[in-house]
Amino acid sequence: MASNNIKIHQQFKVVPLPSSTQTSTTPLTFFDIYWLRCHPVERIFFYTLPNSQSHPTFFYQNIVPRLKTSLSLTLQHFLPLAGKIIWPSDSPKPFIQFNPNDDDGVSLLIAESDSDFNHVIENSPHETSLSRSFVPHLDSTDSFASVISCQITLFPKSGFSIGISTHHAVFDGKSSTMFIKAWAYLCNKLILLSKFEPVFDREIIKDQNELADTFTNNWIEIMTKMFPNEKGNERCLKILPFQPKLDDYVRATFELTRENLSKIKQMVLSKWEIFDTNESKPQTLSSFILTCAYSLVCVAKAIHKYEKEKEKFAFAFSVDCRARLEPPIPNNYFGNCVWGHFVDAKPSDFIKEDGLFLVAKSIHDKIVMINEKGALQGTNDAFDKYISMTSEGIEIIGVAGSNRFGVYEIDFGWGRPEKVEIVSIDRGLTIGLAEGKNGKGGIEVGVVLNKHVMDLFSTLFLEGLH
């Protein structure tokens, strides 16, 4: 196992600087509570270093102190992240509390790996477990859940990585990226730019339908059903065990260039008139629609080819609601402000000959509906819809990350990342997205699949572009 190559040198509890004496509490909104027991989002940023700086002495004396100090300074602006989620018996709902007298702070591991850095960052398939060594565990128990944990790993003579695990009930993708960008900025400068200053005000999220209560009750029901012997433990904050897929699974990254996306767009639009007489053909289709449709169809067809009985699929994606709420909320609102939607493709559409067109059209139609009717359509039956689909044997494919987050711009002072990876896609059937690293309009797609399925996927993905 790759994790044998990791040596933990130090573990710190990083606290906000200058130190705070006030206990602060931050409520969780319905957007947050929806994700309460879901697995953490785990990401790694890999950076290369010139030989002199990747020597252990330089690394431990210069790079680690700088990253640690800037993390402390960043937490002063993001105080709730140094706390934990708790759910006292006198509170109807869980909330975040930062208590400086209660050993609160962010866990930071300093590690060293003897893995081959170039192998770790390559795009071609490699064992799923390898990346797992570079992301830290996020603590969760019956009584509390940590908000964030970090790990800095040195690869001597090559570079280092920053691995981050974040609790999904506190962060959506936009928030976690904003925090990492703020940390990188303060690693280089002394004063934080206003665009990285978070807004934690929960009053701006209006909950007209009392969804926070509904989702809290949903979780209590789920816990009672899943653990019938643990009566009275419905407030347990332990994250559900979404185990990563390790044995016989591999991880790989594929890139769609701007030219590839243009080709996929032509393939989709050329079918529009043939299939659809009622609706005029859209002028354009977003890179998100094209990337997701193309990747999903390749995933579904590869799985079906390997396991014939798997022929029903669905796609769920999240929409950023910040600009879509009435009134809109600030772009730097910190917390979850995304809502998930299933596309209305038939479960068999993904493996049909015209699957690419059918899935692209269904994503496009869903986005049009969201723009017309609002992003919170179907919030009340979200849990039920998910449970009924899984009970019908439908394989639900999700998506993590975004090509709009700008993760390849995050420079802590030693250059841009060589590779950014969403590790947690191995905990479900999920594709991970990021912008192409060369900044030329491409998109990176990360996938974790069974070895044999990955071979089929790779063939379909690459051949479909020629």
Dihedral class, residue 129 (left if φ above 0, else alpha if ψ from -120 to 50, else beta): alpha
Q: Is 381 a catalytic residue?
A: no
- SS3 of residue 439 by DSSP: coil
User: What is the DSSP track for 12-56?
Assistant: EEE--SSPP-S-EEEE--HHHHTTTTSPPEEEEEEEE--TTTTSH
CA-closest candidate to residue 52, choices 144, 172, 159: 159
CA-closest candidate to residue 160, choices 407, 453, 413: 413
Phi and psi at 402, nearest 5°, equal -165, 150
Which entry of 168, 304, 341, 364 is annotated as an active-site residue?
168
For residues 10 and 23, give the distance between their C-alpha atoms in angstroms, rounded to a whole number.
Answer: 28
For residues 126 and 136, give the distance between their C-alpha atoms in angstroms, rounded to a whole number.
Answer: 20
Position 350, amino acid = F
Which entry of 344, 411, 452, 455 is annotated as an active-site residue?
411
Q: Is 9 a catalytic residue?
A: no
In a 13 Å sphere around the CA of 452, the CA atoms on its Cβ side amount to 5
Known catalytic residues are 168, 411
